Structure 1
Amino acid sequence: MSPGAYARRGLVLGGAAAGALLLTGCNRLSQAPQALHLIDKAEGLTRRAQRLLLAGQPLAAEYRPSEISRVFKANGSIDPQDPAYRALAQNGFANWRLTIGGLVERPLSLSLAQLRALPARTQITRHDCVEGWSAIGQW
Structure 2
Amino acid sequence: MARHDFDPATVMPDERQAAKERLFDPLLPGPWRGHIAGELLGASNTVLAYGNGTPGEGPRLHVHPYDEIFIIVQGHARFFVGDKVIDAEAGDVVLGPKGVPHRFENLGPGRLQTIDVHLSPRWLQADI
Q: Report which of the two structures shows the higher radius of gyration computed on alpha carbons.
A: 1
- In the superposition, the TM-score normalised over structure 1's length comes to 0.22
Higher normalized strand content (fraction of residues): 2
If asked which structure has higher relative contact order (CA below 8 Å, sep 6+), I would say: 2
More helix by share: 1
Scaled by the length of structure 2, the TM-score of the pair is 0.23
